[in-house]
Amino acid sequence: MARVQALFFDMDGTIVDTERDGHRVAFNATFREFGYDVTWDVGTYHELLQVAGGKERMRRYFERSGLFPAGVPDPLIQSLHTRKTEIFIGLIQEGRLPLRPGVRRLMTEALDAGLRLGICTTANERSVQALRQAMLPDIPFEIILAGDVIRRKKPDPEIYRLALEKTGLPAEAGIVVEDSANGVRAGKAAGMFVVATTNGYTEREDLGDADIILTSLGDPVGEKGVLKKAAGPLDFDGCLRVDALLAHVARQA
């Protein structure tokens, strides 16, 4: 088995807990600006999260709502999504969406261990770059793959297979860090080891296919994670550390 050489991170819900107080807020503000009496509450947005991609979520919602009996116009969906992205980026730049516990620490440990880093997300390129520049400017990601570069979104493994192709790595050399059932399924379908970190939206999802499940990656002087699942012994003190993760993966080989 090839040794682990890279960590591939999802973004929304994994690097930053963006869904409830980021994307949802931005969607609702956009609907108001465009004159639609539409508000996605927390429960509604949770249901819509089962659909991968913001444009796809809007289309699904509008089709079910009956607002557009003749079909939802593509230009409208694009206009809504463009404005929503601008509002969302503003929230990031204002510092209203902090990194999840342990994210920067784990990335720094991975770099110190000689691992390569990537972001693989269904979010659009502008959102990803805004987050990277505002919150992780010191982290040298080798690849950043956004939803714009793939045809099939998670749970399809296309984005993770593309990450392996671009890095030239076999599946067993990569670890995926995700937060949702769709993301977990995508990582496993690509043949990689998967770590799942739950959040308020995904803690009740079926993440059982993940190799490790945690409530967060954990910070030594901040929020500690709770270990929910590990396929065998894992050295864990409330923080998932790279050396312990690599040792755990090696034991599973």
Report DSSP state, residue 2: P
pLDDT attached to residue 32: 97
With respect to CATH, is domain 19-93 assigned 3.50.50.60?
A: no
E strand segments, the chain = 6-9, 116-120, 143-145, 174-178, 193-197, 212-214, 227-230
Q: What is the C-alpha to C-alpha distance for residues 143 and 148, in angstroms, rounded to an integer?
A: 14
SS3 content of the chain, % helix, strand, coil (to 5): 45, 15, 45
Query: Does the pLDDT of residue 223 top 90, yes or no?
Result: yes
pLDDT tens digits, one per residue of 158-204: 999 999 999 999 999 999 999 999 999 999 999 999 999 998 888 88
41 is catalytic: no
Between 237 and 96, name the one with better pLDDT.
237
Q: Which of 23-32, 125-134, 155-164, 240-249 has the lowest mean pLDDT?
A: 125-134
Question: What's the pTM?
Answer: 0.86
The residues spanned by each domain of the chain are: 6-17+99-252, 19-93
Residue among 191, 163, 203 at smallest CA distance from 20: 203
Confidence class of residue 98 from pLDDT cuts 50, 70 and 90? confident
- Region 95-118: what's the mean pLDDT? 95
- Does 140 sit behind a cis peptide bond, omega within 30 degrees of 0 on the bond before it? no
pLDDT attached to residue 169: 98
Residue among 40, 117, 47 at smallest CA distance from 84: 40
Q: How many residues does the chain have?
A: 253
17 is catalytic: no
| CATH (one of 3.40.50.970, 3.30.70.640, 3.40.50.1000, 1.10.760.10) for 6-17+99-252 | 3.40.50.1000
- Region 57-68: what's the mean pLDDT? 91
Between 178 and 96, name the one with better pLDDT.
178
Confidence class of residue 109 from pLDDT cuts 50, 70 and 90? very high
Q: What is the mean pLDDT of the chain?
A: 93
Confidence class of residue 74 from pLDDT cuts 50, 70 and 90? very high
Query: Does the pLDDT of residue 149 top 90, yes or no?
Result: no
pLDDT attached to residue 1: 56
Confidence class of residue 225 from pLDDT cuts 50, 70 and 90? very high
pLDDT tens digits, one per residue of 114-134: 999 999 998 888 889 999 999
pLDDT attached to residue 213: 98
Catalytic site residue from 12, 17, 156, 211:
12
